[in-house]
Amino acid sequence: MPYSLVIFDLDGTLADSFPWFRLHVNTVAERFGFRQVQDEDIDGLRHASTREILDFLEVPRWKLPFIARYVRQLKTAHAASIPLFDGVDIMLDTLAGNGTKLALVSSDSEANARQKLGSRAGLFADFDCSASVFGKARKFRRVLKRARIAPGEVISIGDETRDIEAARAAGIACGAVTWGYAAEKALRDHQPDLVFTRMEEIAERLLAMTAHA
């Protein structure tokens, strides 16, 4: 089915923020009292679900809103050091140029998202940001309501297992990219509708679906 609206995640999908996260995660851990991440932990965490990661790090759920707010503040201070992945600009230009509506749902703030996207921010019809760890489904539904587009015409694209779970909860299709936070196997185990291994694949495959509709 062709998709008239694509809802993108930001960190790990459009923005290459994992190196920044790795640099600062233990500062956050020390501040909020959860387990620090060692180099040997990284591969296992990339193969785990979001809930498994939180359990491993021993993060109390009640602390999540405070951690998220602090991380957004840190990102604001370091926004210039978090680049977009190569090819994002061409991919977004191609989708928008062919009439596909774009939206962004992110745990980061809208101000940070717009700064990272730069001139491409103007390609997005909607932003719904500052999502809680497990709050993306509600934001997906709000984007759909504002866009007045049926769920069957919408796909979300993200890089974590929680992105797939949120799309399922909102009744929309989900695509997963393999260059972000979660390992490819962890994503495929959650059975997303589409898996993208190259940035160029996003526009190629979505527009091919429209051409053959």
Give per-residue pLDDT as tens, 23-68. 999 999 999 999 999 999 999 999 999 999 999 999 999 999 999 9
What are 7's strand-pairing partners? 103, 156
Residue whose entry in the numeric block shows the structure tokens 């695509």: 175
What pLDDT is recorded for position 79? 81
CATH of domain 5-16+83-211: 3.40.50.1000
What pLDDT is recorded for position 105? 98
pLDDT beyond 70 at 212:
no
Q: Per-domain residue ranges for the chain? A: 5-16+83-211, 18-81
pTM over 0.85: yes
What pLDDT is recorded for position 213? 55
What pLDDT is recorded for position 133? 87
The string over 69-104, giving b where at least 16 C-beta atoms fall within 10 Å of a residue's C-beta and e elsewhere, is eebbeebeeebeebebbeebbebbebbbeeebbbbb
Give per-residue pLDDT as tens, 120-166. 999 999 999 999 889 999 999 999 999 999 999 999 999 999 999 99
- Reported as type and span, the H/E element at residue 22 is helix 18-32
Residue whose entry in the numeric block shows the structure tokens 């993306």: 136
What pLDDT is recorded for position 119? 94
